[in-house]
Structure 1
Amino acid sequence: MQIEQFVLGMFETNCYLVTGQEQGACILIDPADDAEKLIGYMEKKHLVPKAVLLTHGHYDHFLAVPGLQKRWAELPVYCHSLDCPKELEEHDMGMVFPTVTAFANVKSLEEGQELKLAGITFQTLHTPGHTPGSVTFQAGDALFTGDTLFCGSIGRTDFAGGSMKQMRASLKRLAAIPGDYRVYPGHEGLTRLDAEKKTNPYLAYM
């Protein structure tokens, strides 16, 4: 499995392009913005996206989806049922946002759901707190944590639908995962789960 990182949009959101054993296929996680850049990269590499996975329903993680679906009309978008379609319709984070073009083919995810896409198996871990439907995707030795866990910090819980109580439970769940994983967060730098368990003040005493 290979993972390419793109930092996109005004909030410098991390988008990940993941390739596996299926030749010419890829998965996009949180395509935050700049669909043209992503499309250009995939066409240069002769890749076709098989799906978009959203770690949660905030607009700064999916602004590129309408442009991607103009290029690949049937491209499915997976999001936890508690964040779609509600979050995708309202875009409510308590601040002024740009207009978001509607997109289609949204498929609901649930806790424990397994997705086999582009030769990669993704496990869905429901990790609410930042939003009711925030999820972490586990694939091989990688955790895509969205805005739940960052390098040395965690996501905010003061947006609409956020909950510090749920965030604590989600962090406790991540801290209890045995072994080490590469952590690919929604913002800021990459890290490893073992390092966060030892040094992240929000996980160290879980």
Structure 2
Amino acid sequence: MQAFHLLGPAPFYTNSFLLISDAGHAVIIDPAAEVQEYDKILKEHNAQLTTILCTHGHYDHVGSAGTLRREHKAKLYCEPVDCRGTQLLPLKAADVDSGYEEGETIAVDELKFTVWHTPGHTEGGVVLLCGEYLFAGDTVFQGSMGRTDLEGGDDRKMEQSLRKFAKLPIPRGTQLLPGHGDFSTMGQELDNNFYIRQALRNAKAE
């Protein structure tokens, strides 16, 4: 596998990732960068884009999704509830090939993505585990969490998702790749993320 990190445009600089399997099939997670940036990597590595995985539907995470899907005839995944055709959630149901099943594994050659739903930032938020990489979208950032005051956000659901996140069967050394900002590890967030720790404290108090 080869892995590439790209950034979306200012002011959000959304983290986007392109993975290429040993057989030359490519997967994009959160297609936020410009289309030509992905095309350049695909051409340089003689890779075929087959799959696009969106952690949620906000415009700063899906900006190139439609064009890449059409251009490469790739399968596009995003939760239908996040596909409203609005300014904030621009994808429409017709733009998307599939949502996600809780706990399902999406396989592209040796790349296997396990999916868990983590609503709160949006109704359709998910996190994706592939080997030693955890693509956390806007659920968990280094030392923080996704905001809940936008369309589809929900404080209560976010707290439930953070509790769930803390109990996922993911090794502590797994690299956590958030939708924005610096990378971290699962262990660092379990030990140091105030919002995760607070959600767990609240669970004990209930």
Give me the TM-score of the superposition, normalised by structure 1.
0.87
Tell me the residue number matched to 2:177: 184
Deviation of residue 158 (structure 1)? 0.3
SS at match of 1:196: helix
Query: 1:121-164, CA deviations, whole angstroms, 9 ceiling, x for partnerless residues?
Result: 11110000000000001112221110000011111100011011
Partners of 1:42 and 1:2 in 2: CA distance: 11
1:76 aligned residue: 75
Letter in 2 for 1:158: D
Q: Distance in 1 between matches of 2:27 and 2:64?
A: 14
Partner of 1:167: 158
Runs ≥4 residues deviating over 3 A: 99-105
* 1:24 and 2:17 aligned: no
Q: Which has the higher contact order (CA 8 A, sep 6+)?
A: 1
What code does the residue aligned with 2:79 have?
A: H
Provide the C-alpha distance between the structure 2 equivalents of 1:91 and 1:132, rounded to a whole number of angstroms: 16
TM-score, structure 2 normalization: 0.87
Is 1:15 matched with 2:16? yes
CA contact (8 A) 1:17 1:28 kept: yes
Tell me if structure 1 keeps the 8 A contact 2:69–2:76.
Answer: no
Query: Which letter does structure 1 place at the counterpart of 2:80?
Result: S
| 1:19-168 pair list within 5 angstroms | 19-21=20-22, 23-72=23-72, 74-83=73-82, 85-86=83-84, 89-92=85-88, 104-168=95-159
Q: Which residue of 1 aligns with 2:204?
A: none
Hey, what does 2:196 align to over in structure 1? 203
Task: Report the RMSD for the aligned CA atoms in angstroms.
Answer: 2.1
Q: Which moved more, 1:167-176 or 1:106-115?
A: 106-115
Counterpart residue identity of residue 119, structure 2: P
More helix per residue: 1 or 2?
Answer: 2
Aligned partners of 2:117 and 2:126 also within 8 Å: yes
SS at match of 2:98: strand
Instruction: Give the CA deviation at 1:170.
Output: 0.8
SS at match of 1:137: strand
TM-aligned CA distance change 1:103 to 1:36, over 3 Å:
farther
Contact 1:20 1:119 survives alignment (8 Å): yes
